[in-house]
Amino acid sequence: MMQQKNQFVFLPEQGNIVGRGRKRKTTDRVDKAIQRKIKVNRRKSASSIKHEIEKELGVIISNDTIRRRAHEIGLHKRGALKKPYVSKVNRLKRLNYVKMYRDEPMIFWKQVLWSDESKYNLFGSAGKIMVWRTSTEEFNPKCTVPTGKHGGGNVKVWRCFAWNGVGNLIFVDGNMTGEMYKEILVENLFQSSKKLQLGKEMVFQHDNDPKHTSRVVKNSLDKQYVKRLIWPPFSPDMNPMEHLWDELERRMKKTPAKNEKELRETLQAEWKNIGQDVTNKLVESVPNRLYECTRMKRYPTRY
């Protein structure tokens, strides 16, 4: 008996057939209305847009349809970054700061002693606010949340650093006054400068907090001929200290403290362990911070 060979039948590939598949529920007019509402208010939820479209245009759609129309123009729901609110006047001051210092060589920034006060936060913020944005709109003012300077915390500190490393970290008990701040600088400013080998060319940086600009502090610094950066208001993104504090907080999470005494000891130990490799990179980022301020039209930057 002759064995029959297997026969294979090849069918031509079929493309998409016109008219097949799920029908689109919205017209171009409805799509544009949805997308316009999202662009005007990035915090608006899909459900609220859905109700507005149903009321205004008489079209019954789902929340998923709203999301799909947003995705079609590159908008996805993301957590809004918290950034300080910058008024038009303060944007101009930020511009003046950039113009004043953008041409300074790196040797100048290596002589700056950066400083700030903060509270160590044991608890996170009150949760994220969701906004519609594209992958490149993370720092668009429409897609960020204005904040105050500090969140909650239970330990207040003053600290400083420069190119060569970290300076002193001082704990502050109670509410700091101008007089208290002056005493901190008297005891720690030149001590830290000497430790970091900044010499007579040192330039001191602090922000425009009322304590910093008080007459008693200004007079004290003037008597000691301390040169200062002319600092723009609401500009933590210009201060690399913010990222150094983030670095310290990451290290602190590895060794959670059980009480305030232990917390202070761990903060001091981890602060001293921050090496020059970290501080070098932060100081080197300053020219880029100035450039980003210009690129973002003086609004808060990615830093």
Task: Over range 48-63, report the average pLDDT.
Answer: 85
Residue 301 Cα distances to 129, 212, 280, angstroms: 19, 24, 21
CB contact at 8 A, 143 and 137: yes
For residues 53 and 171, membership in a common domain is answered with no
CA angle 31/37/42 to nearest 5° reads 125
* Strand positions, DSSP E, the chain: 76-79, 81-84, 112-120, 130-133, 144-147, 155-162, 165-172, 203-205, 227-228
For residues 47 and 117, membership in a common domain is answered with no
Predicted confidence band of residue 295 (pLDDT cuts 50, 70, 90): confident
More confident residue, 14 or 87: 87
**What digits encode the pLDDT tens for the residues 258-274?**
788 888 999 999 999 99
Instruction: Name the residue range of residue 100's domain.
Output: 88-131+144-296
Lowest mean pLDDT among 147-151, 186-190, 273-277: 147-151
Predicted confidence band of residue 110 (pLDDT cuts 50, 70, 90): very high
**What digits encode the pLDDT tens for the residues 195-250?**
999 988 999 999 999 999 999 999 999 999 999 999 998 888 889 998 898 899 88
Q: Is 88 helix (H, G, I), strand (E, B) or coil?
A: helix
Burial of 52 (0-12, 13-18, 19+ CB in 10 A): middle
For residues 156 and 47, membership in a common domain is answered with no
245/30 Cα distance (integer angstroms): 48
Task: Over range 60-70, report the average pLDDT.
Answer: 85
141/80 Cα distance (integer angstroms): 10
Q: Is the pLDDT of residue 109 over 70?
A: yes
Q: Is the pLDDT of residue 185 over 60?
A: yes
298/141 Cα distance (integer angstroms): 11
For residues 70 and 190, membership in a common domain is answered with no
Question: What global pTM score does this model have?
Answer: 0.64
CB contact at 8 A, 300 and 86: yes
CATH classification of the domain holding 270: 3.30.420.10
For residues 45 and 117, membership in a common domain is answered with no
